[in-house]
Structure 1
Amino acid sequence: ASMQIKDIQNVFKADREVIYEAQNRIRNELRWYRVSLQPLHDESGNVKQVLVNATDIHDLMTIQQELQELNQTLEEKVTQRTAEVRDLYENAPTGYHSLDADGHFVMVNQTELNWLGYTREELIERPFLDILTPESLEKFKTKFPEFIKRGWLIDAEFDLIRKDGSILPVSLNATAIRDKNGQFLMSRSTIFDITERKKAETALRLSRDQLHLANAALQKASQTKIEFLANMSHELRTPLNGILGMSEILLDEIRGSLNERQRRMVGVIESSGRHLLSLINDILDLSKVEAGKVELHLEPIAVLDLCNACLSFIRGPAVKKGITLEFEPDPQVVTITVDLRRFKQVLINLLSNAVKFTGDNGRVTLKVRQNKEQQRIEFSVTDTGIGISREDLSRLFNPFTQVDSSLTREHEGTGLGLALVHELMQLHGGGVYVESEVGKGSTLRFPSHCKEKTAWSTQRRTQNNPMGPNLERTNCNRRHW
């Protein structure tokens, strides 16, 4: 009240309107009012009265106060976010800088400064060219004008010179900032330290060079081995042929009769010579296959004729041990396109092994099946022999390896046969897969992905071909030899 009286007195003295905001309690509520004190004059122009007008502005003042508080909060958040963005810019895991149209630094973050060893003052307004190696400098002179025109640059590699003289390889990406008229203002550039990548690339390049040299040396060694084995096989075959020839002459008794003891001794010479000749051939064949010197001569072969020939080859050893030979052909399979000599070599090898490792009065079964889904013909040889342990399966196809040293003493062999079989089946687009249990026997499956002709696609041909009736006679579910 005293303030109001004083204000009124001032109006009388100053003869001017006074406006102010004040709070007043009404009904126990403190509210804001805008008070206007306006002088009223008499006829002589003197202040006669003062008109007091009070307007309730409590709601307006409340809104203004809330706006002030909100604005203060917003300013604090903007300050905080600006600091966060600045911190992210300065301490990001990648370098940031901006160059003007002349290629001078106008901005650079702390990460890039740390990488290069410079202070901000040492780089701002300095040409980017100053910290480039001669090779990178020439590249930048070409790419920077292109960048200004195009507006972007991706994965450009440069070598930067640190303050201490060391080199920092980087990958640079940039976009252009332009004004509303399209005029270039500055770049927004990021650089990535690619030191580790460059080391890895160098190591990889050295490894490739070393691998190339090793491959060249390996090829040379392989060729040398083939040439050596070819020469040695010739040198060994020549005297062996003489031994075998003379043995056959003695056994045929062309030069006179032999008693039983002499015949057994000559027989040992003859069988040992043939065994040695077989080993020489296996070594030479395996070396040629491993060196990629074997080419397949594919031709359509009658499956029944092929299997019958192979079974006939091992029939003698099987009969001596009382082993039953079984053949289960697929009635639908007529021919298969393979290299006859090599595929026959595979079949005979596996059948011979089955007979060798099967005890007296055992069983060896040859099966032929067609897998329509995979479009391949699968051969399998199953025996009731000694079997193979799980631990030995992994090295079954290693050259010069037998799965048990005791087998070497009981069953002669070098371990070359299965290695050669595996390589030959891979040449035919297949492989060899083994299922075995010790004491119960083994099954070796060898699918061939070569083209085959089936009975339903060749019915017309078999009716007009002499092979047709023969096929009907032999295509039973199981045939005993």
Structure 2
Amino acid sequence: MTVVTSDILMDKELLHKKELANSQAALLNVLDDQKKDSEKILKKKAVDEAILASIGDGLVVVDKEGKITYVNQSFEKMLGWSSKEVLGKRIVAVVPREDEKGEEVPFNERILNKVLRGEVVVTDLTNPFYYIRKDKTRFPSSSIVTSIVLDGEIIGVVETFRDITKEKEIDKAKTEFVSLASHQLRTPLSTINWYTEMLLTGDVGKLNAEQEKYLNEVYRGNQRMVGLVNALLSVSRMDLGTFIFEPEPTDIPLLVRSVLDEQMPHIIQKGITVFPTFGTNIPLIQVDPKLLRMVVQNLLSNAIKYTPEKGKIDLSLTLTDEKKCLLFTISDTGYGIPKNQQHKIFQKLFRADNVREKDTEGTGLGLYIAKAIIDNSGGKIWFESPVSNYIEGEENVGTTFYVELPCKLLEKSK
């Protein structure tokens, strides 16, 4: 080997060692960066877990099979389960959910499962559910459920919930106060009503035209107050669970015709045309006639109130194809219900924006009461209204309300 060849080999070896050293240094830098990134991720994870663990609301993460993958400390405290006991188990087995009556809500009807299926769910905060603790006691709760999405696919959900026992107690106290106040108001209102009627009928002397006009205003105002007090009493009784249902065999077509006759002066005054269509051979149905009358009165008076002059109202009573249900429908050509507010229509004290401008005297209690009565009668109430949003000029498209009562009750009353 020549001297030149030896020098070349040494240079190559030195170059190789230098490249190797550079590669090692670069690798060490990469490993150091990865270590720093891992430390950052672990630190962030620790912070996130600390935040989740410390929040006051209960939190549970569920995968797409409905199995629990994470719970926080509040979940453990509120429900009595440790994370070790529940991880990997189906939430429906660990944490049953009940409605107000104590009936368990099936998993396919739980909000959590509906969100897993990709459904858009609107939570009704006025109708809370109950979670069952490990010791079988229960507490009222409100919750928010959010989907976990990866690459456009729902892979799980996060549910946060809180105990609203105190809120329920406050609401009960408020309801009891409203009930007491309403009872106290009834006596003076009845007295005003009685004496006003005596004056208007001339029992205590003849009135001139101007006096009669003013007394009629007093009478109408008092009647509105009586209606409000009665509505408040009905709501408070429902909320307290003291509302009494007294079902008896009832002729529904006769009841609807009676309410229609009662409202006829208002119908004639506005020039509204009513088309009643009642099916034949409709049997008696076992319901509380006084309460069902309240429902029909509310739906018909709303249709009259929110339908412009010269409008149209359709009423129908029919048996479904298999005669399993009695269906009452009432359609109008009124203002309609904005779509972005339709989910609130049966909530207590809610009134849609477009009708608040037309009628300032409504209470927002009628449909709440109607739904409670129909639900407790074993039926269903719903509606259709094509108004997409509350836009000026987009109205008079009408609304149709449906009331369905099960015909199992009909067989008992034949």
Same fold at TM > 0.5? yes
1:438-477 map, 5 Å? 438-449=395-406, 451-453=408-410
Kindly state the Cα deviation for residue 408 of structure 1 after the two structures are TM-superposed: 4.4
1:5-24 map, 5 Å? none
Kindly state the Cα deviation for residue 229 of structure 1 after the two structures are TM-superposed: 2.3
Task: Provide the identity percentage.
Answer: 29
Distance 1:366 1:276 in 2: 29
Render the CA deviation track for 1:26-68: whole Å, top value 9, x for unaligned.
Answer: xxxxxxxxxxxxxxxxxxxxxxxxxxxxxxxxxxxxxxxxxxx
| 1:377 aligned residue (286, 304, 326) | 326
Kindly state the Cα deviation for residue 245 of structure 1 after the two structures are TM-superposed: 1.3
Q: Is the alpha carbon distance of 1:301 and 1:429 closer, same or farther for their aligned partners in structure 2, counting shifts above 3 Å? A: same
The answer to whether the 8 Å contact 2:179/2:236 transfers is: no
Residue aligning to 2:60:
none
The answer to whether the 8 Å contact 1:244/1:274 transfers is: yes
| 1:433 aligned residue (382, 385, 395) | 382
Residue aligning to 1:269:
218
Distance 1:306 1:289 in 2: 23
1:338-377 map, 5 Å? 338-373=287-322, 375-377=324-326
Render the CA deviation track for 1:409-431: whole Å, top value 9, x for unaligned.
Answer: 53521111111111111111122
- Note the residue ranges of structure 2 that are not aligned, 5 or more in a row: 1-67, 82-130, 142-162, 387-394
TM-score normalized by the length of structure 2 = 0.58
Distance 2:245 2:326 in 1: 18
The answer to whether the 8 Å contact 1:304/1:334 transfers is: no
Matched, 1:225 2:174: yes
Kindly state the Cα deviation for residue 374 of structure 1 after the two structures are TM-superposed: 7.1
1:395-410 map, 5 Å? 395-404=344-353, 407-408=356-357, 410=359
Residue aligning to 1:308:
257
| 2:268 aligned residue (303, 316, 319) | 319
Q: Is the alpha carbon distance of 1:201 and 1:277 closer, same or farther for their aligned partners in structure 2, counting shifts above 3 Å? A: same
1:91-106 map, 5 Å? none
Render the CA deviation track for 1:352-403: whole Å, top value 9, x for unaligned.
Answer: 0000011111111211111244711111111111112211211111211210
Instruction: Point out which structure has higher relative CO (alpha carbons under 8 A, 6+ apart).
Output: 2
- Other structure's SS at 2:335 match: coil
- Other structure's SS at 2:139 match: helix
Distance 1:276 1:333 in 2: 37
**Residue type matched to 1:313 in 2?**
E
The answer to whether the 8 Å contact 2:193/2:219 transfers is: yes
Distance 1:235 1:382 in 2: 38
**Residue type matched to 2:396 in 1?**
G
- Note the residue ranges of structure 1 that are not aligned, 5 or more in a row: 1-193, 459-481
Matched, 1:254 2:203: yes
Matched, 1:331 2:280: yes
The answer to whether the 8 Å contact 2:231/2:366 transfers is: yes
Larger radius of gyration: 1
Render the CA deviation track for 1:174-195: whole Å, top value 9, x for unaligned.
Answer: xxxxxxxxxxxxxxxxxxxx99
- Other structure's SS at 1:258 match: coil
Kindly state the Cα deviation for residue 285 of structure 1 after the two structures are TM-superposed: 0.6
Matched, 1:205 2:133: no
1:39-188 map, 5 Å? none
| 1:288 aligned residue (214, 226, 237) | 237
**Residue type matched to 2:345 in 1?**
L
Kindly state the Cα deviation for residue 319 of structure 1 after the two structures are TM-superposed: 0.9
Q: Is the alpha carbon distance of 1:231 and 1:198 closer, same or farther for their aligned partners in structure 2, counting shifts above 3 Å? A: closer
